[in-house]
């Protein structure tokens, strides 16, 4: 499988790239791409799947939440459509899908608004999308045990290494298309949890 990952130097992306390469997949990580659709389409041509794992990250303000967490995902989905790559896994976040609470700070509200808009954009497309909403991310080692289900899943944390493993399993299970899934640490082995949803 040839997989293109937007946000290719991110913490989840680096773990995912290692997992995919170890099992023999071809991986292209996009880093600070000038985000010109023609350039991206060239890179996507011949790919089997796109993973959107970019994010404005901590320390960024509200405008960057919109330009990266929403607009960059829209750009990647445009490019996937133009390149004929149907499979698209989007890393969103728990909390998306609902308006931010009125007492949220401005940046968090912008982040949740951007993620929610990116999800809505993707759902409206004729692509084989899966939206993955992890809980709070940690750099702990992989546990291999997760809780993965349609919302609502109780809030919790999950190691980035397990998020990467879930994305790899989602790519193996195209029957998970058109689902929005929330992810935290849990008791289910990754492969079994993903397979049961496919």
Ligand X SMILES: NC(=O)c1ccc[n+]([C@@H]2O[C@H](COP(=O)([O-])OP(=O)(O)OC[C@H]3O[C@@H](n4cnc5c(N)ncnc54)[C@H](OP(=O)(O)O)[C@@H]3O)[C@@H](O)[C@H]2O)c1
Q: Does 53 bind ligand X (CB under 6 A)?
A: yes
Give every CB contact of residue 120 below 8 A, 6+ residues apart in sequence. none
Q: Does 9 bind ligand X (CB under 6 A)?
A: yes
Q: Does 29 bind ligand X (CB under 6 A)?
A: no
Q: How far apart are CA 138 and CA 125, in angstroms?
A: 31
Among 4, 55, 168, 186, binds ligand X (CB under 6 A): 55
Helices within the chain (DSSP H only): 11-22, 37-44, 62-64, 71-83, 106-123, 160-172, 190-197
Among 32, 38, 59, 126, binds ligand X (CB under 6 A): 32
Backbone torsion region of residue 141, taken as left when φ is above 0, otherwise alpha when ψ lies between -120 and 50, otherwise beta = beta
Q: Which is nearer to ligand X, 74 or 175 (CB)?
A: 74
Query: What sign has the CA pseudo-torsion 13, 7, 77, 47?
Result: negative
Q: Which is nearer to ligand X, 138 or 175 (CB)?
A: 138
Q: At what angle do helices 71-83 and 106-123 cross, to 10 degrees?
A: 20
Among 83, 113, 134, 181, binds ligand X (CB under 6 A): 134
Q: Does 166 bind ligand X (CB under 6 A)?
A: no
Q: Which is nearer to ligand X, 68 or 193 (CB)?
A: 68
| Closest-approach residue to ligand X (CB) | 10
Q: How far apart are CA 73 and CA 40, in angstroms?
A: 12
The rounded Cα 84 to chain-centroid distance in angstroms is 19
Residues 63-82: x/- map of binding to ligand X (CB under 6 A)? -----xx--x----------
Q: At what angle do helices 71-83 and 37-44 cross, to 10 degrees?
A: 50
Q: Does 33 bind ligand X (CB under 6 A)?
A: yes
Q: Which is nearer to ligand X, 65 or 87 (CB)?
A: 65
User: Which residues of this chain interact with ligand X, rule CB under 6 A?
Assistant: 7, 9-13, 32-33, 53-57, 68-69, 72, 91, 93, 134, 136-137, 160
């Amino acid at each position: 499988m040839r997989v293109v990952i937007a946000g290719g130097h991110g913490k989840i992306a680096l773990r995912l790239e290692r997992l995919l390469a170890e099992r023999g997949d071809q991986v292209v990580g996009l880093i600070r791409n000038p985000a010109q659709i023609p350039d991206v389409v060239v890179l996507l041509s011949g790919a089997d799947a796109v993973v959107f794992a970019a994010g404005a990250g901590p320390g960024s303000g509200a405008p960057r939440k919109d330009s990266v967490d929403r607009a960059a995902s829209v750009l990647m989905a445009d490019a996937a459509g133009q390149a004929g790559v149907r499979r698209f896994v989007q890393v969103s976040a728990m909390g998306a899908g609902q308006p931010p609470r009125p007492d949220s700070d401005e940046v968090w509200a912008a982040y949740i608004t951007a993620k929610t808009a990116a999800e809505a954009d993707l759902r409206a497309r004729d692509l084989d999308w899966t939206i993955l909403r992890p809980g709070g991310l940690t750099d702990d080692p992989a546990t291999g045990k997760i809780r993965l289900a349609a919302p609502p899943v109780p809030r919790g944390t999950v190691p980035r290494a397990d998020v990467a493993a879930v994305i790899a399993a989602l790519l193996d299970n195209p029957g998970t298309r058109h689902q929005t899934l929330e992810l935290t640490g849990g008791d289910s082995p990754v492969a079994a949890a993903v397979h049961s949803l496919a």
